[in-house]
Structure 1
Amino acid sequence: MRRTTILRTGLSALLLLGTWATAGTLPASAADTPPRSSEAPASPALLSAMQRDLGLSRGDALTRLAAERTATSVEPRARSAAGSAYAGSWYDADSGKLTVAVTLAGQADAVRATGAAVRHARFSARQLDAAKKSIDALSAPAGVASWHVDPEANKVVVDVVAAHRDDNDVRAFLTRAREAGPVAVRETSAAPRTFAAGTVGGDPYYTGNVRCSIGFSVHGGFVTAGHCGSPGAAVYGWDRSYVGTFQGSSFPGNDYAWVSVGSGWWTVPVVLGWGTVPDQLVRGSAEAPVGASVCRSGSTTHWHCGTVLAKNETVNYSQGAVHQMTKTSVCAEPGDSGGSFISGDQAQGVTSGGWGNCRGGGETWHQPVNEILNRYGLRLHTA
């Protein structure tokens, strides 16, 4: 919808036609930025979305965000303590703690000393990553949706579209995948697709006849999904005025891009509220662990929340495979592509694609924002 005034919408028109000149201009680097414990963990709108989509009370949502913030800060220390025995980690919502898998019992005490719980595993993260890399080199048929390392299962999990489980080419792919290392097969109800859309009314940005959503403001522009536009393509705002151009874009293989802005447009460190909910400030890009809650903002379906299901997943779109994606239980629909994934006040990634919708549910993948920042040498605009 069109915004009637900038002030009434909390400065939330696309790359807001305004900025904070002093406070909130210090950039975050592409490296993870530790969350600031003194800051409020989330806006009322994000808390409301968590309550709706995760079935939490407001108090439970606040408690979970605080626990996830702690788990995010513990993870790098726990990984270092595990050393070569590290076999992956995830946030356990039941215990409210980070769980770290290790292959050597002798490393358990050092990991526990960081505040993490410990689980024994047979295969190290290095072994599992090597197996996934071998599977990445295979040509996947359309009936194979995606694959990723699952630290809790201690295997590479391959998701297969249920209707194609017995296809000869799928069975042949699985046979070759199992030769690479420990593999588990799970079924999914539909194949993934990207969430770009043809031109329709609304607030996001447009390129050609495609409507997509903005991801996160960076100094000089914003990041978004690569399938939304090619380098040099012109970008137009919610009011159809010229915003800038795609300076870099990669899809498939990756699904990220960045757009430079000018012509009176500039950036602020918020995730859009679309004029119906308060905007969410962005204060960094510390990566939330598997199992943590995460919310998404997009121009079609606005705010929805869920949990991180997997990291470093390879997604097999019809246009080609995309690597190093993060899978979530958050729904999305056409037009949401490129939009923001955020955990608390920490930027996570830009919406790529998925299956399902926000009426019946589904899963959605995002391209991690730190990878995009590092690839293009960008600085996240933070509050």
Structure 2
Amino acid sequence: MRRTTGIGTGLSALLLLGASVTAGSAPAAAAAPTPAPEPAASAGLLTAMQKDLGLTESQVQARLAAEKTAAAVETNAQRVAGSSYGGSWFDAKSGKLTVAVTDGRKAGAVRATGATVRLVTHSAQQLDAAKKKIDALGAPAGVSSWHVDPKANRVVVNVVASERGDNDVATFVARARQTGPVQIKETTEAPKTFAAGTVGGDPYYTGNVRCSIGFSVYGGFVTAGHCGRPGMGVRGWDGSYIGNFQGSSFPDNDYAWVNVGSGWWTVPVVLGWGTVSDRLVRGSNEAPVGASICRSGSTTHWHCGNVLAKNETVNYSQGAVHQMTKTSVCAEPGDSGGSFISGDQAQGVTSGGWGNCSGGGETWYQPINEILGRYGLTLHTT
């Protein structure tokens, strides 16, 4: 069975789960903002998070509430910290957001926003500058990705373990270490994109490739760039014409948008595939590192995990893709382009990763707000 909800030929037949608007600014030294009440989590969402994250129902409810608060605190705390901001992350055990700062004089004001404070040596600006230098090096295939890790206060470079002794990899690592505070970690596999050959009955097709729709925008939808090039036609799950790729970028980025016409329309909905109820999209407030996150895709449907890293450069065989977010959520071929959501907030579109939903793995997504800004699109919300 392809999906459990009754769906016609509209875009609702294709959409995955989405989320809400960015919280407004609060005074610099204000107390932690109180999130607006949101609809109770569906029984399906609770079940999925219990299964994938190993939590009880009450733990899921408490975590969702804590993460909503942390997302609101993060924006305020970063502004208060100013140039001393060293990054932030959510701790699931304590239910608190930790904010790193390089200037102890800022600690009190940052703590007043509701965050826990940690003093560090390097600012986020310094770490981002080091990562930007690594981006310019040109990585060999044995280097899978690199990102700023605020908790380690380092730029982490991930190397495929079996390629660690390769001369090109060793040269890259040596040059990376010269850019600033760098930590080398090993990973088991190289990342790959999650497009797939044609399989009947699934969300959308371009040429002989099947991918998944991410989020509805006014005039169309957003998805992964590696799924198609500008001008390429797109067919829906029923084989009918939807529209064409209006913009696409891959590698360097991995995002695209498709216009909608010929009897198709846009709705602010993400499919739950029977695991959770279909979800309404309310905005795109960015979740912090450490927050729980779920993904909807046409192959493996609904799975959940945690945000592991932001602004990571992923080195696919086709080339490097920048400013990605890494998660512990699994995915498989055909899930490319699908939705990532945290709470009721849209986060991004599925790009690629390693592993599968039988043995586990990691998956990256391209953040939704970057896509909207790049093409001047407006997220369709309730």
TM range (shorter): over 0.9
How far, CA to CA, are the matches of 1:378 and 1:372 in structure 2?
A: 8
One-letter identity of the residue aligned with 2:71: T
| Residue 16 of structure 1, aligned match among 6, 9, 12 | 12
Aligned pairs for 1:214-233 within 5 A: 214-233=213-232
User: How big is the shift at 1:270?
Assistant: 1.1
Q: Residue 58 of structure 1 aligns with which residue?
A: 57
Q: What is the rounded CA distance, in whole Å, between the counterparts of 1:253 and 1:215 in structure 2?
A: 19
**CA shift for structure 1 position 18:** 11
Aligned position for 1:135: 134
Alignment check: 8 A CA contact 1:199 1:210 kept? yes
Aligned pair 1:85/2:75, yes or no?
no
Instruction: Identify the residue that residue 104 of structure 1 maps to in structure 2.
Output: 103
The residue that corresponds to 2:27 in the other structure is: none
Letter in 2 for 1:217: S
* 8 Å CA contact retained: 1:14, 1:204: no
Tell me the TM-score normalised to structure 1 length: 0.93
Aligned pairs, how many?
A: 370
For 2:279, the aligned partner's letter is Q
Aligned match of 2:31: none
Say if 2:127 and 2:148, in contact at 8 Å, map to a contact too: yes
Q: What SS is found at the alignment partner of 1:381? A: coil
Could you list the runs of 5+ residues in structure 1 that have no partner in the other structure? Answer: 20-26
Aligned equivalents of 1:14, 1:174: Cα separation in 2:
49
What residue ranges of structure 2 are gaps of 5+ in the alignment? 25-33
Q: CA deviation at 1:242?
A: 0.5
Local SS of the residue matching 1:70:
helix
Q: Is the 8 A contact 2:350 2:363 kept in 1?
A: yes
Equivalent position SS for 1:265: coil
- 1:275 Cα offset (Å): 5.1
Partner of 2:265: helix, strand, or coil? coil
Residue 118 of structure 2 corresponds to residue 119 of structure 1 = yes
Summarize deviations over 1:97-151 as a string: whole Å, max 9, x none.
1100000111100000000000010000000000000000001000000000000
User: What is the distance in 2 between the residues matched to 1:17 and 1:174?
Assistant: 46
Partner of 1:94: 93
Change (3 A) 1:184 1:226: same
Query: Structure 2-normalised TM-score?
Result: 0.93
Cα distance change of structure 1 residues 381 and 350 upon mapping to structure 2, 3 Å threshold: same
Once the two structures are superposed, the pairs formed by residues 350-365 of structure 1 within 5 Å of their partners are 350-365=349-364
| CA pair 169-282 structure 1, distance change in 2 beyond 3 A | same
Q: What residue in structure 2 maps to residue 201 of structure 1?
A: 200
Deviations 1:17-39 (A, max 9, x none): 699xxxxxxx97xx725696222
Q: Residues 116 and 277 from structure 1, CA distance in 2 versus in 1: closer, same or farther, beyond 3 angstroms?
A: closer
Give me the whole-angstrom Cα distance separating, in 1, the residues matched to 2:7 and 2:242. Answer: 17
In structure 2, relative to structure 1, the CA distance for the partners of 1:184 and 1:80 (3 Å cut) is same
CA distance, structure 2, for counterparts of residue 272 and residue 101 of structure 1? 37
Task: Give CA deviations for 1:38-86 in whole Å, capped at 9, x if unaligned.
Answer: 2215333222211110001111111101000000000111001111110
* Range with bigger deviation, 50-59 or 311-320: 50-59
Contact 1:333 1:358 survives alignment (8 Å): yes
CA distance in 1, matches of 2:354, 2:14: 35
